Amino acid sequence: MGRREFLKIFNAAERKFGKDPTRLAGEGWPEPWQLVITTIMSAQSRDETTIPVAEGLFRKFPTLEQLAQADSEEILAALKSLNYNKTKARHILATAKILNERKGEIPNTIDGMLQLPGVGRKTANLVVCEIHNADGICVDTHVHRISNVLGLVKTKTPHQTEKALQKIAPKRYWSRINRLFVLWGKKVPGRERKKLMAALK
């Protein structure tokens, strides 16, 4: 499938979910560093679980400096309800230290973001889009699954999906793909094209 089919599907998803008030984990944070930390936390965890855990962490450590100076066990305790909490706690502390040394400056490129502990391409794309208004397609399991089920791409990995979508999606839509497809994916699990399309009506 090409650009025309993508636009047809994207526009239908925009009409259905464009005004949905649901908050995702990578949205609504007052400080850029909080967005970075939360997206690290959100890997393999539901937004509904991640957001309150992140809020609790930031109440305990309201500044980047305080988080960077935190004890690793305190961070782990705050993350106890998340999947892979030990690894995430370690990455969060390491990334907080790096960002604090940089006076809170967030890398403005994908490659720069990927140098931070715990940051993969999904997080990197989300951050550069949200913080720096750069072009990027954030591909998580929902985007990867839906894009393949609908035949927009034929890929085996999220990175391949990211690259394939870049070829058929106009850049002005890139930053919106993740939110729309995530909301769509939350409503329709599984791999049935008919059910996915029916959810847009």
The Cα 61–Cα 32 span in angstroms is: 15
Of the CA atoms within 13 Å of residue 27, those in its CB half-sphere come to: 11
The Cα 124–Cα 117 span in angstroms is: 11
The Cα 142–Cα 15 span in angstroms is: 18
Residue whose entry in the numeric block shows the structure tokens 């980047």? 64
Q: Active-site residue among 122, 194, 195, 201? A: 122
Cα 80 to Cα 15, 27, 169: the distances in Å are: 38, 22, 39
The Cα 42–Cα 54 span in angstroms is: 9
Is 163 annotated as catalytic?
A: no
The tokens of 197 are what?
Answer: 């399309």
Q: Are 153 and 177 within 8 A, CB to CB?
A: no
The tokens of 83 are what?
Answer: 């999947």
By annotation, the residues acting in catalysis are 122
